[in-house]
Amino acid sequence: MIRLYPEALPMVSIDLHCHSTASDGVLSPTDLVLRAASRGVQVLALTDHDDTAGLEEARAACADRGIRLVNGVEISVSWRQQTVHVVGLGIDPRVPALAQGLASVRAGREARARRIADALAKCGIRGGLEGAYAFAANPRLIGRTHFARFLVAQGHVKEMKDVFRKYLARGKPGYVSHQWASLAEAAGWIAAAGGVAVIAHPGRYPLSGAEFAELFSEFRDLGGGGIEVVTSSHNREQSLKFAREAQRFGLLASRGSDFHGPGESHCDLGALPELPPACLPLWQHRALH
């Protein structure tokens, strides 16, 4: 992963992207909030993959500590053969359209997990399915990170950063293709739940300039509201590039660490540079107020 560029932290510490044990994070929602508080985070969005199960506990933990919790989720989407993550912020997790949509994505994850385990078995690694579930604190939400922790624990690879490169990334023996939600579905579920949709870490998608333009205009036409401009996945150049893209497509600029856990993430909660100048910050969106 790319290292963050050193810059001053903003006056108000806002982190709109992180994970708990409700998906593939290491910390429980409570421990995540305690860590955020100790690091001076004032506005925090919990954005677990395809599940909102951690929000209630996170809200209770935030209440006493003067942190404002933004209800979030990170939805897995397939757009033209490419996996794209769409963060929903300021959502009401009880809205049936969203809850049912996320349940359908999770069902797809279960089926994919069986196929990943079969693929790993073909290269001699047995017990992958049970092994991955043993690392999933939320049995409704299984993902590649849980397989990665299993493979590290079994000694197949030394470190988390090697396991995707060797086994789980596209083209590797444990990778299987998968059809996630459509961009229109994800945007629709988030809108129905009263939230604002944000394209997560665009710098991670291997798209051409023309394809990015198509993604962002299609997303905006579907009611999408923002782009993650500052994220641990971006270097400074990428943040500047996507700040320009946000302006060009009339989208707001978001900022989130994508923290998964101490030891697994090089960017800690709230440890992010400010948005580049001239960005319209996503936290001004009405869904967050």
Binding site for ligand AMP (CB under 6 A): 24, 49, 76, 143-145, 160-161, 164, 260
* Least gap, CB of 149 to ligand AMP (angstroms): 10
* Least gap, CB of 49 to ligand AMP (angstroms): 5
- Please say whether the beta carbons of 35 and 269 come within 8 A: yes
Q: Could you tell which of Mn ion, ligand AMP, none binds residue 15, using a CB distance below 5 to 8 A set by kind?
A: none
Collapsed DSSP state (helix, strand, coil) of residue 52? coil
d(CA 115, CA 175): 9
Q: Nearer Cβ to ligand AMP, position 24 or 228?
A: 24
Interface with Mn ion (CB under 5 A), residue total 5
Distances (CA, A) of 52 to 2, 150, 191: 28, 24, 16
Give the ranges where 154-267 is alpha helix by DSSP (H): 160-163, 183-192, 209-221, 236-248
Region of residue 66 (phi > 0: left; psi between -120 and 50: alpha; otherwise: beta) = left
Q: Nearer Cβ to Mn ion, position 188 or 261?
A: 261
* Least gap, CB of 44 to ligand AMP (angstroms): 18
Written as one letter, the residue type at 183 is L
* Least gap, CB of 210 to ligand AMP (angstroms): 25
Q: Nearer Cβ to ligand AMP, position 144 or 220?
A: 144
Q: Nearer Cβ to ligand AMP, position 51 or 245?
A: 51
270: tokens are 């709230």
d(CA 65, CA 37): 7
Interface residue with Mn ion, options 35, 85, 149, 234 (CB under 5 A): 85
- Please say whether the beta carbons of 54 and 46 come within 8 A: yes
Q: How far from chain centre, in Å, is Cα 19?
A: 7
Dihedral sign for Cα 74, 76, 77, 82, please. Answer: positive
Q: Nearer Cβ to ligand AMP, position 12 or 134?
A: 134
Confirm or reject binding of residue 24 to Mn ion (CB under 5 A): yes
Q: Nearer Cβ to ligand AMP, position 201 or 285?
A: 201
Confirm or reject binding of residue 258 to Mn ion (CB under 5 A): yes
Q: Could you tell which of Mn ion, ligand AMP, none binds residue 76, using a CB distance below 5 to 8 A set by kind?
A: ligand AMP
Q: What are phi and psi of 179, to 5 degrees?
A: -95, 110
| Residue with the CB atom nearest ligand AMP in the bound state | 143
* Least gap, CB of 225 to ligand AMP (angstroms): 21
Q: Nearer Cβ to ligand AMP, position 128 or 143?
A: 143
**Interacting stretch for Mn ion, rule CB under 5 A, among 30-38, 99-107, 118-126, 199-207?**
199-207
- Please say whether the beta carbons of 274 and 254 come within 8 A: no
* Least gap, CB of 139 to ligand AMP (angstroms): 15
* Least gap, CB of 210 to Mn ion (angstroms): 23
- Please say whether the beta carbons of 200 and 190 come within 8 A: no
